[in-house]
Each structure stands twice: as C-alpha cells, then as structure tokens.
Amino acid sequence: MMAAMIEGIPILNAGFTMIHHVLPAAHVTLDTRALTSAPPRRQMRVAGAGIVHNVVLWGVCGVCSVALHAALGQGYVRTRGAVVRYVW
C-alpha cells in the first residue's frame, strides 16, 4: 500500500480479514488505469512490495514457530514421544 502511495498510484480500497479466525489476509485495490499507465519500473515496485512483505511475514512466522517449539517442547521426552502422565 505504501509503495503505491509513494509511486503515485491511487488506492481505491484496502482491508483486512481473518480466514477461519486463524489466517490473516489483507487486500488492496489500486486504480487500474493509473497502474497500467505508469512506467514499467513503477509497476514492478508496486507489485514487488507485496512479495517482499509476504517473504518477511513468512520469516517472522518461521522464527516464532521455532521459538514456540523450543519454549513449549521442553517437557516432552523425544526418544519415546509424548506421554500423558495425569488426567483430571
């Protein structure tokens, strides 16, 4: 969205939603005429910005996943698998 603003492409609509209350999703609707009439370099900057943000988000989720596994996986015995020790 910021790339479009910097490149002078008008933003018609933007939104955020949660798919199945778990997966975040965002969308941006740009002015098609302004985008197609822009020079190819500007078009690539706008298109590439979304890809870069997806890669960064993927990296952050990966680091969080590893950290969560390291923090919560301490109580499990890895050679025998998970064992239920007590049920209320």
- Is residue 85 one of the residues assigned to a domain? no
Structure tokens at 86: 């007590």
Whether residue 87 is contained in a domain is answered as: no
pTM of the model: 0.60
The pLDDT of residue 75 is above 60 = yes
Tokens for 43? 């078009």
In the chain, the number of structural domains is: 1
β-pair type (11-19, 23-30): antiparallel
Question: Is residue 81 situated within a structural domain?
Answer: no
Domain coverage including residue 14: 2-75
Read off the pLDDT of residues 12-56 as tens digits, 9 standing for 90 and up.
999 999 989 888 888 899 999 999 999 999 999 998 988 888 899
- Is the pLDDT assigned to residue 9 strictly greater than 60? yes
Question: Does a structural domain hold residue 47?
Answer: yes
Whether 35 is covered by a domain: the verdict is yes
Domain contains 80: no
